[in-house]
Structure 1
Amino acid sequence: MTKPILILGGASLDTIIHLPALPTPEPQTIWPRESYRALGSTGAGKSLNLAALGQTVVFHTLLGEDPEGQQIQVALGHPGIRLLTEQTDAPTEQHVNLMSADGKRISLFIQPPPEPEQVDWNQAQQALAECAVAVVNILGYTRSALPWLKASGTPIWTDLHDYDGHNSYHEPFIDAARAIFLSSDNLPDYRTTMEGLIARGKEFVVCTHGSEGATLLNKEGRWLEQPVMPVSGVVDTNGAGDAFFSGFLHRYLQGAELADCLRAGAICGALCVTSRELASPELSRERLA
């Protein structure tokens, strides 16, 4: 049994709207194919996928004292997830995600993540002593945890998402992390960015390319490529990147080679897009094996 994984930040209640194509700038009336509300955000996605794979997760997030916060707590009621919630005066984070038939997305943060002046990290600090790794998501409030996380010596992993290679907002997370994940959405020259991150002392960097697979560079200068796993049909691409991250981390903690970790990530990402859920109901340790 592996040690627990500490995850900091990222739970929202989202409205998902499926459209034939993303809207163009001119005024128009659009008839969605379907819409629904669902659990969202990067910490929730990682927590649910890792728990489905049999990992124990300690997940810290901020929630408002509102119905949305209560719904999130219910949705995260997995026996493998220990939820550390801190109530804020601000409303719970909410997004509207416009999804096109080809899997593209526009996310509207109709209620941004809370950023209180002070965060009570006491429970998370106590939990860290038992954890194998700390996953720090790039929410503003998690930056205040980076000093004590670095001081602990626990490996820190972070997911920069659509980082452009220059945004100073990401710098504290980059500095603290041992392993970095990001997407090539805003990186036409992603290999140069990956090389720059490795030069800053990272163990490895993984860059995902949506339907084009993923690329890894490790500190020894070895490049690995992972094609996307084929699926019979795409239902919802929300959370695919977090599912990929989770499959990779799961196999890494089992001592697998990096190529096998990449393959596990691709399987989890593929399963994710075949359902509405952040973690596919079909995902399990046995299915991944």
Structure 2
Amino acid sequence: MTASVVIAGPASWNSLVVLDRLPEPVPHMQFAEDSWETVGGTSAGKALSLTGLGRSTRLHALSAHDEPGERVRAALAAAGVDTLWGTGDVTERHLNLMTRAGARVSLYLSSPRATDGRDDARLLADMSRADALVLDLAAEPLRLLPQARSTGRPIWVDVHDYDGDADYHRPFLDAADAIFCNADRLPDPVAFLHSRVTAGASLAVCTLGAEGAVAVDGEHREHRVSAVPVEVVDTNGAGDAFFAGVLDARLDGADVDAALRAGARAASGVLRSRHLHPLLDAVLG
């Protein structure tokens, strides 16, 4: 089956801990308000949201043959996500410390190195037939960037809390037709979006949390959307869902304003779940 969207990037097994406040950098003790384990990883989140929207999607992710890897693979399969698994030296794992207000510290417990490329032939064939490619921030997608560019397919990237200067993000930014980020560390998000359009992107989007999102299109026109009001259960995966909603709508021919509204609706659905997407609710409880 030809996938409309091919995503390369992280799928992880995460431990989530809810606290009344994020820990201060001094020795102390805190009691958790809640905790659970679930699937994580920005690429898994995007794949789940696109699958939930009915978009044909294939996720290329890495996992080791260990217990966390088995859990991730089983959960995504049960949720209906089409995957092409590469063999990682470890399975990615995170410990996320969070507050009810949405503040978060993500501790990376393990992260796989890039592979030797043994799955590249099939992956390149998948990418060459796709309508769009998503490459997320990780070692394997970084290795795959030249091959992705060689296909001529549109490349969408999510640089998350980029600060405007970090070198690691630069190859992803330079390859991207569409760029997403959040405003956490950018001194002037709108100026950054305009700079990426000037550099060649056709769309640049910055999410603003409860304030919605702002986008700049290829003609340097600015667009804004408000967040959909919702009772928040967990913020993990909301940005990935917003990204997926915008991408899905754009592939259906929607203009930027309609696509941003689709992204906001997609994010609101994920905010009601304690998993990356409601598709996992029946799988993981």
Counterpart residue number, 1:262:
260
In 1: Cα distance, 2:234 partner to 2:169 partner: 27
RMSD: 1.7
Counterpart residue number, 2:140:
141
Q: Is the 8 A contact 2:48 2:279 kept in 1?
A: no
How many Å apart are 1:129 and its aligned residue?
A: 2.9
In 2: Cα distance, 1:97 partner to 1:80 partner: 25
Counterpart residue number, 1:95:
94
How many Å apart are 1:80 and its aligned residue?
A: 4.9
How many Å apart are 1:81 and its aligned residue?
A: 2.7
Normalised by the length of structure 1, the TM-score is 0.92
Counterpart residue number, 2:15:
15
In 2: Cα distance, 1:40 partner to 1:122 partner: 27
Q: Is the 8 A contact 2:212 2:225 kept in 1?
A: yes
Counterpart residue number, 1:252:
250
In 2: Cα distance, 1:124 partner to 1:236 partner: 33
Q: Is the 8 A contact 1:183 1:209 kept in 2?
A: yes
Counterpart residue number, 2:205:
206
Q: Please, which of 232, 236, 239 is the counterpart of residue 238 of structure 1?
A: 236
In 1: Cα distance, 2:130 partner to 2:77 partner: 20
Unaligned 5+ runs, structure 1: 284-289
> What is the correspondence of 1:15-34 to structure 2 with a 5 Å cutoff?
15-34=15-34
Cα deviation 1:15-74 (Å, max 9, x = unaligned): 000111111223221111110100001010000010011011111011111011111111
Counterpart residue number, 2:272:
274
In 1: Cα distance, 2:124 partner to 2:100 partner: 43
Counterpart amino acid of residue 164 in structure 2? G
- Of all paired residues, the percent bearing the same amino acid is 37
How many Å apart are 1:207 and its aligned residue?
A: 0.3
In 1: Cα distance, 2:96 partner to 2:15 partner: 6
Counterpart residue number, 2:103:
104
> What is the correspondence of 1:1-289 to structure 2 with a 5 Å cutoff?
4-78=4-78, 80-88=80-88, 90-111=89-110, 113-116=111-114, 118-120=116-118, 121-231=120-230, 233-281=231-279
Q: Is the 8 A contact 1:208 1:214 kept in 2?
A: yes
Cα deviation 1:143-163 (Å, max 9, x = unaligned): 121112111111100000001
Counterpart amino acid of residue 245 in structure 1? F
Counterpart amino acid of residue 182 in structure 1? C
Counterpart amino acid of residue 27 in structure 2? P
How many Å apart are 1:281 and its aligned residue?
A: 4.5
Question: 3-state DSSP class of the match of 1:51?
Answer: helix
Normalised by the length of structure 2, the TM-score is 0.94
Question: 3-state DSSP class of the match of 2:141?
Answer: helix
Question: 3-state DSSP class of the match of 1:141?
Answer: helix
Cα deviation 1:214-272 (Å, max 9, x = unaligned): 000011111011111101x2111011100100111111111111101101111111111
In 2: Cα distance, 1:81 partner to 1:56 partner: 9
Counterpart residue number, 1:287:
none
Unaligned 5+ runs, structure 2: none
Q: Is the 8 A contact 1:15 1:97 kept in 2?
A: yes
Cα deviation 1:59-105 (Å, max 9, x = unaligned): 101111101111111111157532111112x2201000001121110
Question: 3-state DSSP class of the match of 2:63?
Answer: strand
Specify whether residues 57 and 80 from structure 1 end up closer, same or farther in structure 2 by C-alpha distance, changes over 3 A only. Answer: farther
In 2: Cα distance, 1:281 partner to 1:136 partner: 22
Q: Is the 8 A contact 1:271 1:282 kept in 2?
A: no
Q: Find runs of 4+ consecutive structure 1 residues off by over 6 angstroms.
A: none
Specify whether residues 42 and 94 from structure 1 end up closer, same or farther in structure 2 by C-alpha distance, changes over 3 A only. Answer: same
In 1: Cα distance, 2:143 partner to 2:272 partner: 36
